[in-house]
Structure 1
Amino acid sequence: MTLPCAVAIAGPTASGKSGLALALAVAFDGVVINADSMQVYDALPILTARPGAAALARAPHRLYGMIDPAEPCSAARWRDLAAAEVESAWESGRLPIVVGGTGLYLEALMDGLSPIPEIPAESRAEARALFDDLGNAAFHLRLAEADPVMAARLPQGDSQRMIRAWEVLSATGRSLAAWQTEPREGAVAARWLTLAVAPPRDRLRQACDGRFLAMVKAGAVNEARAFLDRDLDPVLPIMKALGLRDLGGYSRGDRPLDEAIATAQSATRAYAKRQMTWVRHRLKPDMVLDAQLSESLMTSIFAKVRQFRLTPV
């Protein structure tokens, strides 16, 4: 049986992934499906670089701004939502184009996830309460006593993943590391064409810096201030949005704006570097786009997609 086609576009922040996805959607009657763990939330459209009205008017976009920021979105939940959108695209005769820089999301959709049972709400609440009581450092020490393998993998600052490791251990009696050795489940059955947008380092650094300045000019300071005024749980995933804390500090008068911008730009560049590492070592792309997305390169990309769709396996 010939499997239906889907395209996955990965790459670091500010690399031009969204623009490429939109161009492909317009050219091939596609649906753009978000695989960015920040853009799924109905908050911070400027700081998370969510596609604007002009892009939304040119092609269908799915899974953008559809989850309340007070509600964590797990990779498993996103995978189920994305799988449904991929199926819907096929049913309507459209090409699913999954785009984003969250490697775990893309892996979940294309390769599946480890079969970790659903964790009861009480176990999640107990893990969070323990973290609140102990704080980062002491919680990490407690995790190291109970689950040294996961503690060795996780830095103290990664509160979200530490809490996840604890709740899995407490609810299942088994380390998250052990669950992750099990065969993966739930991958979408598709023929995937994977494109990696991988700009040269200097150009990517400039793009990261320039985009954050553009965000500030577009109103990111007021957006950050209004969002932080909601006083949400600090361990929620959305609270890790790049630049949120830095601009919040400026809004409170804790630091000058130029310092807040510089710190956020530095964090953005570091995040882009980590994303590039994932692309190089985990994605195994069919096509690496390491040059400017010029007209000639776009012609080559379109030809690749066209050939892929016409070549059954």
Structure 2
Amino acid sequence: MSEFVSQPFEALVLAGPTASGKTASALALADDLPIEIISLDSALVFRHMDIGTAKPTLEERATCPHHLIDVVDPTERYSAARFCEDATRLIGEIRARGNVPLLTGGTMLYLKALHDGLSELPEADPALREEIDREAALRGWPALHAELARLDPEAAARLKPNDAQRIQRALEIVRLSGRSLADNYAQRVEQPRPRLFMIGLEPAERAVLHARIAQRFELMLAQGLVEEVRQLRERFALDPELPSMRCVGYRQTWEHLDGLYDRAELRDRGIYATRQLAKRQLTWQRKFAEEWPDFVRIDCLRPDLVEAVRVQVLGALSGAAWPA
């Protein structure tokens, strides 16, 4: 599609909170354009995790090519840095085929990293992580959170005392660098940053989105989320602190299988956690809208959502709706 290649952006982005209609809108665009979808979702990268991630079905994926889905096993990790590398490569390859790269999903950290660039953080140090884990086993994560508060009060203030994964990484960075997280994040890595035309879906009424979230999580339970997690635990050497099992829905199901609460409470906790995720995603999007003049916002509850997205995208491709 030569006219796309000539535009002042290299890829389209359709972001938004969970249950905002991103998948339907993205697939509808494939009716008009030679779309190839790049998943902007940190949960869809995991193989064998289909129900709780609301992974596009095989039929949906047959509509147009999909990328960055089923990339790693649940025992592995997939970072924002790897996403930026993979997404930048895929954007180039898709454009070289004359097609339109469309990034869609709700992992706002990935979108920010792709747009703004990555911070030059120290690489993970397995020995130091083991040392921190041993300290946590002896003293508890609240004690390590208190240590982080002494070393980096600003970072500690953003974390809960039992947020093991984030406390571990924050302590690791501070101990390795001798600098606060803010100072580390200020150091930017020189890397290609593809130019993006970005659309963010968000609800005019939060209560409607909450109702959708509840309906969606109940459907996941009906489709067999509990059995999916049970089989994952039997097949892989998993623990609840792995990124895969920290995904919304999976953490709550893990705790249910451990006997911490019944299925009714699993439903309530899963819905609440998903609502909190949506709240965080919308907070990210508000910041994007403030900081990035090229961020277009569309009410995801409007009845003509698919057409509204289509008009924005086709207008952008023709040069008519490129934001000032």
Cα distance change, pair 293–23 in 1 and its aligned pair in 2 (3 A): farther
C-alpha displacement of 1:100: 1.3
Which moves more between the two structures, 268-277 or 101-110? 268-277
Counterpart code for 1:126:
E
* 1:185-205 CA distance string (max 9 Å, x none): 435232x22111112212101
Question: Which residue does 2:34 correspond to in 1?
Answer: 29
Give the whole-Å Cα distance in 1 for the aligned partners of 2:252 and 2:277: 15
Q: 1:5 corresponds to which residue? A: 10
1:301 is matched with 309
The residue correspondences of 1:38-117 to structure 2 (distance < 5 A) are: 38-117=43-122
Kindly indicate whether the alpha-carbon contact (under 8 Å) linking 2:248 and 2:273 is maintained by their aligned counterparts in 1. yes
Distance 1:37 1:129, change over 3 A: farther
Partner of residue 259 from structure 1, selected from 265, 282, 292: 265
- Is 1:193 aligned to 2:201, yes or no? no
TM superposition shift of 1:221:
1.1
Instruction: Establish whether residue 276 from structure 1 lines up as the match of residue 282 from structure 2.
Output: yes
CA distance in 1 between partners of 2:254 and 2:239 (Å): 15
User: 2:231 aligned to 226, 243, 253, which one?
Assistant: 226
Q: State the AA in 2 paired with 1:144.
A: A
Distance 1:115 1:245, change over 3 A: closer
Does residue 1:286 correspond to 2:292, yes or no? Answer: no
Residue in structure 2 matching 1:164, options 137, 160, 169 = 169
Contact 1:25 1:97 in 2 (8 A): no
Q: When the two structures are superposed, what TM-score results if normalisation uses the length of structure 1?
A: 0.90
Q: Sort the Cα spacing of 1:3 and 1:58 in 2 relative to 1 into closer, same or farther, 3 A.
A: same
Structure 1 residues 249 and 114: alpha-carbon distance in aligned structure 2, compared to 1, 3 A threshold = closer
Gaps of 5+ in 1: none
Corresponding residue SS for 1:161: helix
How far the C-alpha of 1:42 sits from its partner, in A, is: 1.5
Whether the aligned pair in 2 keeps the contact of 1:35 and 1:105 (CA below 8 Å) is: yes
Counterpart CA distance in 1 for 2:133 and 2:161 is: 15
Corresponding residue for residue 242 of structure 1: 248
1:156 Cα deviation after fit: 1.6
Query: Shift of the alpha carbon at 1:74?
Result: 1.6
Moved more, 241-250 or 208-217: 241-250
**Could you tell me whether the CA contact under 8 Å between 2:15 and 2:104 is conserved in 1?**
yes
Q: What is the correspondence of 1:112-151 to structure 2 with a 5 Å cutoff?
A: 112-151=117-156
Per-residue CA deviations over 1:135-167 (Å, capped at 9, x if unaligned) read 211111222233333222222232222111111
Q: For the residues of structure 2 that align with 1:43 and 1:129, how far apart are their CA atoms?
A: 31
Q: Percent identity?
A: 35
62-71 or 112-121, which deviates more? 112-121
**TM-score (structure 2 length as normaliser):** 0.87
SS at 2:251 equivalent: helix
One-letter amino acid of the counterpart of residue 205, structure 1? H
* Cα-to-partner distance string for 1:59-81 (whole Å, 9 max, x where unaligned): 11100121122222221111111
Taking the aligned partners of 1:71 and 1:178, their CA distance within structure 2 comes to 29
Describe the shift of the 1:120–1:26 C-alpha distance in structure 2 as closer, same or farther (beyond 3 A).
farther
TM-fit CA distance, 1:310: 2.4
Comparing 207-216 and 224-233, the one that deviates more: 224-233
Name the CA shift for 1:36/1:180 in 2 (closer, same or farther; >3 Å).
same
**Aligned residue in 1 for 2:3:** none
Aligned residues: 311
1:181 partnered with 2:203: no
Per the TM alignment, residue 12 of structure 1 is displaced from its structure 2 partner at its CA by 0.9
Q: Secondary structure at the match of 1:197?
A: strand
